[in-house]
Structures are given as structure tokens and as C-alpha cells.
Structure 1
């Protein structure tokens, strides 16, 4: 079996397939396996998958266990809401909520794959440029002329997926006009960060937000600043440097309280990240070729679930292979039934959450009034997400039954 892409989704898929006794070849275009970016949030639904894949202990080595998530008003400095990650949260979902460095998570997955070198082959420097089906098998050609064929090809090649281009032919992803600046800095450089090592803080304001949390056992402080650009032109090249500039970042954050402004000044200005997503797809598969992770369901970061949902994909595909050992078509069909509605719901929720947290005026007033009324252990809005569950079955947690995700594509 061939996996195109060696990020979180690709390596976790390799682990899931190999755990069912299937040999897997992973090709990655970069010269080495590594993650661009800084922090990643791992909710209980992701940790359950890492445990299933046998890499949870390694993945948890350098994580931080935040005691809570705070939603703060970036204009006034007032607390809006709190979500408690303590004992009740852990009992409810069976795992904690952790934050870590993306590189640390990927290292755990790479080491897990290397430990199964009898079944998993990892190869870098392979850029897929063409995908076809030949005699019922997936065929991938790379820029260096090498060609790979396999009974199952899994596209885990991210937002700009070449494999998706063959499977769905649905054009480029949608740029939202939001842009992110990221960076992890020594924790002592950030005002008040050392005193809040066990807190994940989300500062929100009109057309902006700033997420802050410690990583690497609290030695680094991860920050992500996001804002909606007034210069964005949906008809122009979304990768143009004419919009979402550092100057716009400073102007957007200039209205916020001093602590937010000072923190934003530490963001890495060298790389900007325009934010993209897609409308949910009705299928991720064409013949023996299917998609996982951002190649299947790219979503905005407002749910902090992109990597988590990719992990869920890997686990579901592995279960499909286990249940339908001699019928790859049935295995892929099982995978889609288990995942496509839930991942689609996450895509749509991510859009809506972004609109809500970036709200202004009456929307912001109503948002703050609603959320401030919730106690820290009220998990009603995250139960469906963190408890996991399949497409067809309800998710049962103590005291609550969460219906299966809606089929809405609005």
C-alpha cells in the first residue's frame, strides 16, 4: 500500500495499516520528515487514536497539560469563559487535553514507523506529480521519474493535494481572507507567560484572535495571531503578498490591550499563513485511491482539530482494512461511512466558530453573554467532538447522549 505524504495524517495512516499486517510505503516530498509550524492542540479524540497506534507514551513525553482554556476579550482584558480540563474532563473523555510542539508529535509518529521497518518503508525527496489508475491499481509518478503502483493509494498530501486533484478534480481550495502569523519563543520573553504555564489562552476581538500556550514542557511559548485582512481580494491571487501583511497585523492588534499588543510583537513576521478550507465533499475516493487529513477535509484552525481529525481518519481506515481484509473496496467504503459526515461537520463548525470569535458589535455582545453564563465544566459544545464516535452511532458519555453528526452541507 502506498501513502503519499509524510505528515501527521500520512504517518498515522501507515501505522494504522501496518498494525493490520499490511506493508506500507510512504513517500514524502520534503528532504526529511518534519513539521513546519510550532504548536498543536491534541484533544482526547486524538489521544485515543495515538494510544491505538501504540505511540501515545512517546507522544506525551514533552507535552504540557493545561489546566484550563480561557477565552478572553482582547479589547477589554476581561475573561469571557473558561473550560476546565481537570478531573471531570478526564473522566468524561478518558484522556486529557494536551498541547505540544508539532515536531515532537511527528517525531513520535516517525519513531513508531521506524519501529515497524519490517512493514513500513519511509522515503523522502519524492514529489508526486501525476496520479492515475492502471489495471485496477493506483499509480503515482514523481518528479524524479520514479513510479509507484499499489492496490491502495492514500493521498495524505495536504491542502494542495495532487492526489485530490485526480480523485475529485474540484479545483483549488478557498481562501478566507484570514491570515496567521505563528511562532514559539522562550517563555520568559512573553509578559506573564511564566506565571500561566498551565493555561491555554484565546484572546478574541473584532476580526482577530491570538492563541497562546506553552510547549516543550513549558520552556517555549507558542503563539498564533490571526486576523481578517481588509485588503484581501477574492478575485486576486490568494498567495499574493499584497494583503495580510505584518503592517496590517500591527494595525489590527493596535486596538487591543497592551498585553495582547506586546505578545503580538513577538510573532514571527517572516512567514505568513493564508487560511484556506473547502466545502465538505460527498466522497474522498476514486477506485483504489482515497484521501485522508487535509487532502480530504481541509478545515480552518478555529476548532484546533485539523491534526486530530487526520488521526481519526487513519484509525478508521485501519479498522476498515481489518474488517474487510480481502475486499479493499469494502474497506474504503467503511472508512468513508465512518468518517465523512463527522469530518464534514468539523469543517463547517470550524468556519462558524471563526465567524463567532471574530465577531463585533451585537454578535460579540451576544456571544460574550452566552459563553460567560456557562460554568467551566459545561461541555455541551464539545461533547460531540472530544468523545469521538462513528458516523452511525450516538456517542455516549456520562449523563449525555450526543446524536450522530448532521448531514447538512450548508
Structure 2
């Protein structure tokens, strides 16, 4: 492929899903990955109906379900006493939204899109570390650290939390939450004690939480332990060490205590996001996924938002493709930017609010628990805005969600159900 129609910088889930979406239009797409090979690290991810709807459109849902687990319930429990606070009937949720809630290993989701791209003829290049971007009236370019220039009609930067392209739009840095995540996947044959793999469970506790659910058809148990790091707050370099992990969960119930020894203790992750921005497009260069809107993990929407971005972009490219196959990229990118930033802003800010609410202590924890226990199981008022088909709006309608200020009061005020849902 000498000169592709689209260059995508970043070979993660967002970049590959976008490449596949655009290739379905007959466009020539090149993906640039900085590593020596395409791959994905981490453990499980959750795919809500707003994502499985898109996988179904791509013809990939059946395979994704075969690689993952379709659970029956999502449950939130108090991490201190283990009691159930609220839940979602995920089978009823599927009837409500028309598509299932799915949990899958991140590497399995990545390989699914990678295979789809290969089958679609997407050009996949590795060891392409992009250091600069440029454009003129007709093309955009991404240049590597070796001086190689990749040129196309449009360049999509899906280059993650530390995006180089984002510097074209705003001079900002990732925002640290001072929380640290430990992960671990354990073969079910090695799990001591009963674990119900029909459930996705989160235990919320003072300045910590613990999540578990099944993967790979129930052969693996995925676990995530997240806690506030005193060393990170103090600005120390040795933040998040295993002794901090154990100390953070000392007041939690027996079930959580029994699971902690199974966490990977040789690596851990600091939790970051970025303040939302409304400008994602500069001429023929556009941001996508975590480059535009990296969230904290509390809504399990990070990978989903990136997949949504690619689907929306492809939908608008399809609408603006002429009989000669040429896309009006100015119009397509403008429509993409009209649709996505406000929705993603709301996800990012609501995720911050949920993190605060999950980690309450003392009287505020007790108040939260009372409110959660009063919620009706079939109340979907808090999920409609995110699980419903909000990714693509008619162009003659204004943005559905107004900007939400960054103050804590305004973030918590996105709605009582929004704030307390699992």
C-alpha cells in the first residue's frame, strides 16, 4: 500500500477497531504500532450493550461471546461486611437494550480485532514510533523517530494516555488519582473457595475496592484490587507496593482477604485520566480513544468509548463518501467532533464521581449504602444515557449532553442514580 486513505497511529483496541470499521467502507487503512508486535497487556474488560451493539454490527459478537463470558448479574457489595448493596439483572438488561453484557480478556478482544483487520486487508506495521504530525491542504502526515513519513488523506491518533498528537490540541498532563490497581487472572482449578462466575462483583470499601468475574468461558477468574496509595499522595517514587496493598484491605471482609494472595504482586498500575477537552479535530488530524478521553475505570467504558469513536467516525465517513469512493473528510471529521466529545466528557466526569462514592468511609459510607439498597433492581434510569444507542446522533439535533463543570458538586449532581450505580 503506497499511499493509504487513512493512517491510524496506535495498534490497541481503539486503533484496530477503527481500522476495521473504515476498511469495511473499502478504504485503504494503515495502522502504525510502536511496539515490535501487536499485542495487549492487562486482564479482563467489560463490554456493555453500547459496545456489543457495535460488535453485532461488525459481525464479531458471536466470536466475542465464545471467547468471553455472558454473566447473569452485576452485584455491588460492601467490602467491609460483604453485604449486597444493589445489583443489575444482566439478562433483563439484555432484553432492555437488545444486546448482552459481556466480559472478556483484553488480549482476546484485541486479537479478535487484529484478525478482523488482517482479513480485511488493513496494512499493519510495527516499530513505528511517531514523534510528530503535519498537514497541508490535501494530506496529513505522521513521522517516525527514524524519519519515515506516513502520508494519507487523514491521520487518526489513537496513541493512548500519553498521546503525542494531543499536544497539537492542548498543553496538559495526565491527572493522577493517587489510586493503584493490582490485577490477577487465576485458573479456576487453582481457586480455593466457591466463586460464582455468573456474577460480575465489585466490593466497595473505604479508599479501596475489589472486582472479580470469570473469563474465557469460565476457565479463568479475573480479579482487580484498587486502593489509595499513601506513598503516591506523599509524592514518593515507591508508590503502590505490596505492603500498601495489604494494609489498604485490612478492614475488608473474609472473601476479599482470601482473594488478595492471588493478585500479581510483581507489577501494578497507577490510575490516571485527563480533564475533558472539546476539540478533537485539527484539519486532517483527529484524536480517538484515550488520546481524546482517557477515563478512570469505574464505569468500565474506556475501551468501549474508543470502539464507539471508530464506529461513529466510519458512519460519518460512509455518509460523505461520493460515488467515486472519495470521502469528504472535512465534513466527516466535523460531524465526528459534534457527536462524541460531550458524551465522553460525561463518562470521564461521572467516572470520577463514582470513584469518590465507591470509596467513602464513616457516616458517608453508611448513607451511600442506604441509598443503594433502596434502588429497584429494574431501574435503568442511570444506564439509559450510556448503554442506550447514544453514540450516533442525527446531525440536525444538538448535542444530547451539555458540558459538566469540573467541580465536585456539579460532578456528583449528574443525577442520583448516575452517581450510585455499579
Structure 2 counterpart of 1:275:
271
- Name the counterpart of 1:162: 164
Q: What is the correspondence of 1:297-308 to structure 2 with a 5 Å cutoff?
A: 297-308=293-304
Aligned equivalents of 1:241 and 1:212: distance in 2? 29
Mapped to 1, the partners of 2:259 and 2:402 lie a distance apart of: 39
**Pair 57,68 (structure 1): closer, same or farther in 2 beyond 3 Å:** same
> Please, what TM-score do these two structures have when normalized by structure 1?
0.92
Question: CA–CA distance in 1 between the matches of 2:391 and 2:127?
Answer: 36
Distance 1:191 1:382 in 2: 34
Shift of 1:353: 0.5
Deviation (angstroms), 1:201: 0.8
- Residue 287 (structure 2) aligned to one of 264, 286, 291: 291
Cα distance, 1:63 vs structure 2: 1.1
What is aligned with 1:19?
Answer: 24
SS of equivalent to 2:331: helix
CA distance in 2, matches of 1:183, 1:147: 40
2:77 paired residue number:
72
Residue equivalent to 1:397: none
Instruction: Tell me the distance in 1 between the aligned counterparts of 2:306 and 2:128.
Output: 21
Q: Distance in 2 between matches of 1:296 and 1:221?
A: 31
The answer to whether 1:179 aligns with 2:180 is yes
| Partners of 2:183 and 2:224 within 8 A in 1 | yes
Residue 143 (structure 2) aligned to one of 129, 132, 141: 141
2:86 aligns to what SS in structure 1? Answer: strand
CA distance in 2, matches of 1:140, 1:9: 18
Residue 289 and residue 69 in structure 1: after superposition, are their counterparts in 2 closer, same or farther (change >3 A)? same
Determine the structure 2 residue equivalent to 1:321. Answer: 317
Q: State the partner residue of 2:153.
A: 151
* Alpha-carbon distance, 1:134 to partner: 4.0
Residue aligning to 2:220: 220
138-147 or 306-315: which moved more? 138-147
From the superposition, tell whether residues 283 and 59 of structure 1 become closer, same or farther in structure 2 (CA, over 3 Å). Answer: same
Q: Displacement, 1:164?
A: 1.4
CA–CA distance in structure 2, aligned partners of residues 54 and 290 of structure 1: 26
RMSD, aligned α-carbons: 1.8
Which residue is 1:189 aligned to? 190
Deviations 1:174-224 (A, max 9, x none): 111011011111123334444x02111101100000010010100100011
2 CA distance for matches of 1:188 and 1:70? Answer: 24
Match of 1:208 in 2: 208
**Range that drifts further, 345-354 or 47-56:** 47-56
Matched with 2:250 is 254
Q: Partners in 2 of 1:55 and 1:163 — Cα distance? A: 30
**Following superposition of structure 1 onto structure 2, how do residues 16-95 of structure 1 map, counting pairs within 5 Å?**
16-86=21-91, 88-95=92-99
User: How far apart are the structure 2 equivalents of 1:300 and 1:243?
Assistant: 18
Structure-2 separation of matches of 1:220 and 1:368: 30
| Distance in 1 separating the partners of 2:266 and 2:32 | 28
Aligned twin of 1:399: none
* Structure 1 counterpart of 2:409: none
TM-score by length of 2: 0.89
Provide, for residues 330-361 of structure 1, a one-character-per-residue CA deviation record: whole Å limited to 9, x for no partner.
10011111111111110011100101001112
Is the 2:157–2:287 Cα contact (8 Å) retained in structure 1?
yes
Trace 1:314-353 onto structure 2 (pairs within 5 A). 314-325=310-321, 326-353=327-354
Q: Distance in 2 between matches of 1:329 and 1:365?
A: 52
Structure-2 separation of matches of 1:10 and 1:71: 32
Give the count of matched residue pairs: 393
CA separation of 1:189/1:203 partners in 2, compared to 1, >3 Å: closer, same or farther?
Answer: farther
8 Å contact from structure 1 (residues 212, 224) kept in 2: yes
